[in-house]
Amino acid sequence: MKGLLLALALLPAIASAEAARPPITAVSHIALYAVDTAAAERFYTHDLGATKGADPENSKGVRYYISPSQFVEILPAPDAASANRLDHVAFVTPDVKAMRAYLASRHWTVPPSVSEEGDGSQHFTVEDPEGRRVEFVQPSKKAPPVPADSLSAHIIHVGYIIADRAKEDRFFRDVLGFRPYWYGGMKDDQASWISQQVPDGTDWLEYMVVGQGEKVDRRLAGILDHFALGVANIEAAYTALWNGDRLDHQEELPKIGRDAKWQLNLYDPDGTRVELMELHAIGKPCCSAFTATDPQK
């Protein structure tokens, strides 16, 4: 009887441990569609300096490694006429099975099991409240070499279009524990870009808020669905691009963003924006203060 009572007393603690959220430490990758995969290859390898690798998750895809643990996944576009070029974004966790169990305990729809690839990586995908695909990845311990002279070795954030901030917050902030970092927009009183860091790192997700019913064409979708590469110095990065003949079809120049960070917008051949961004603001940002630690490298 005492043994039964002890077991019953321990049940809440066991349930709590099972429902604990494992760490979410970084951006893993962003998966994008390309109509011309050869043109995409030149942009990601020649212009950005990424390393091409096989895609264990999708035999039709290619990975372009920014670092041994972060990459851009390029997939053939299923519909060239579609405005959308974003397949999914992905975040790193050291225990993907525990993450799946945690989300299930929070009544989030999860797949029946975790997928394991030949390289040893594991992953599963869910949908956010507006139907965007979000993947959690436990990376492989095997990784390809990355050139020492790559333009950047860090995807510091990913961003994508949303319509309802409150809905998204219930998933990313309430369930997953993402933390506020900064918000702003083209107007000081309108929060159109809302950034929140992963709970156990400095990488972040940026909501790109578009009003209900607002038309999003191919050009605008490419600007809003994006990713950012951290650099220590925009002048040095732009100089490397210029001297390396790596600015084909690029029209923008470095500038200071509304967050008071130097940045440079590049665009891949399908129009997806790649934002080179310095790690720290050079002055006071618009709209809000930064409320979490910047990436350090």
pLDDT in tens, 243-283: 999 999 999 999 999 999 999 999 999 999 999 999 999 99
Say if 26-138 and 155-278 have the same CATH topology.
yes
Q: Where are the domains of the chain?
A: 26-138, 155-278
In angstroms, the CA 31 to CA 71 distance is 9
Total-model pTM = 0.91
Class of domain 155-278: alpha beta
Characterize 81-101 residue by residue with b for buried, 16 or more Cβ atoms within 10 angstroms of its Cβ, and e for exposed.
eebbbbbbbbbbbeebbbbbb
In angstroms, the CA 22 to CA 19 distance is 9
pLDDT in tens, 48-61: 999 999 999 999 99
Class of domain 26-138: alpha beta
pLDDT in tens, 29-82: 999 999 999 999 999 999 999 999 999 999 999 999 999 889 999 999 999 889
Contacts of residue 187, Cβ cutoff 8 Å, sequence gap at least 6? none
208 close to 162: Cβ distance less than 8 angstroms: yes
pLDDT in tens, 191-212: 999 999 999 999 999 999 998 7
